[in-house]
Structure 1
């Protein structure tokens, strides 16, 4: 079974590498230099940043220690086998859909389980104004650009207070060679609004479908937590890269606006309560800081290079503990139940914190 990178399982397998893969060489150099100038004041540090065109010796600087080694993780097969799930067949899912009245959320879940875009499209036929369905389909590259832009625009109309709808629409519009319209959409984004990703709705829909087709309740939730994908993150990374390139070729005033938009987007993504979004958010913030000219204002006033590097290290430490969590879930049914209930209600990170607090330290 092939899965996209941006899944909760992907956060276990690739989390420590996401920032490394997404950041450019020049920004890696900036991070390394920031570590060497940690003793300087913020005002002095701004004047010591090299110009974006300064390539030094032409060789990339060594990476910070925190980025050199990926976390040790278990194999995909081991993690999925630990759930004890028997994936339903198409016939079993058809029976589930019929018994539940052919709901849009059910079709979406069935499409996610079977990785079938046709079933997902049926969901939007059933409920064309369902924001979860609109978001899920607009985020997926399996569908045409025209359809995705149309769905993202409908999502923006249905949920005008969800800033993610505008970010998604801007990204799709920009990728469709209409940069000016995308920038106009971004001009209207109010960062005080909500940023709803519908991750919990997808988890619940997949969990319900697995339960209804004969699987254990906790195992269904755990499997959903490992495998539900997050395709919107790839689209947001694309928008971030476009904003970075726009900043490189714009007037100083326009560049400042583009970097701040990138930083605001990264902050919104990083605040989501799952590990992979946190890592991708940091990568987007990295694009905001990349190629920053000397004496230009920081995209986020209170976050200098050192603070950003500390955020990377914090997220990496979270990823390192995930295999320990998996070992505990294998052997303790009570922990599985507690973890799954908290993950659905509070999010992955809060559930992991609770679980870690109940795992004895290796030094004990």
Structure 2
């Protein structure tokens, strides 16, 4: 192939000329941050889009995760997945919380609810699952365990923008759900994030925590952080919302093209959804299993040699990094499905501007032995 390099993703951006009027308004107002007009507009617009009542915007998803844990006063141990980006567990570490890893479901690659109960100890205070690749967790089963043991549930929903189950947005589940608007995500604000809040009181606490703990000009009520989203990011978000349906439709078309072209390739398994009513096609993961003539890493290199840069999301497991590997819950024998997925997964390029002719070339490389 060897034409232009094709990366696993490329940010969706609106026409630059359409962003200029937003910038002029910022210049005219001289309000750059601290909950300005665009910040307030984006909060309202996202509440309407998701069908939720309260949302708090953040500078990024990681700070949002850290603050969500603080907002619910989580301590001790939190049960989570080893199969995710490191920010999931790092947010726990930053709060002095011990992550406890349990295995994933081999079909959805989400946290397996059946594994949670045996990992609960007197120190367990919460569960932090991930809607991996935007495919919803088994929220009913997780909620049942949480209710039985009086645990909080914080969803890392970084991948789940726009995803719906039978009852509406998946973001309504759990005590809190946390989004990322990073440049690699379906919806981006350059950098950004958000927390979906169940009630006004929780929103007030989170808004205080993301603004150094300020509860007024001369009152500080908590050791908060500077997690506020700027007006530039919020303005971009307002414009991006106008294009989100177009973005999702483009991703859907690319997803369908991959599935059609790879469905008969031995040893290549295209990951399926987990019952979502509306998907967001945020990633296109395949599992390269023993039926394929070369290893996952050999295929990874073959694609790179042809100018295609897939990613091994998520390899290695979080539990194998130095700051986590000594935890008892990190032992590989306790995480067979997560270990297998990490050794087989390859996320292929998917983004709105990706041409179907390039998808054809990628699939040809995978299909040719």
TM-score scaled by length of structure 1: 0.30
In terms of fraction of residues, the more helix-rich structure is 1
TM-score scaled by length of structure 2: 0.29
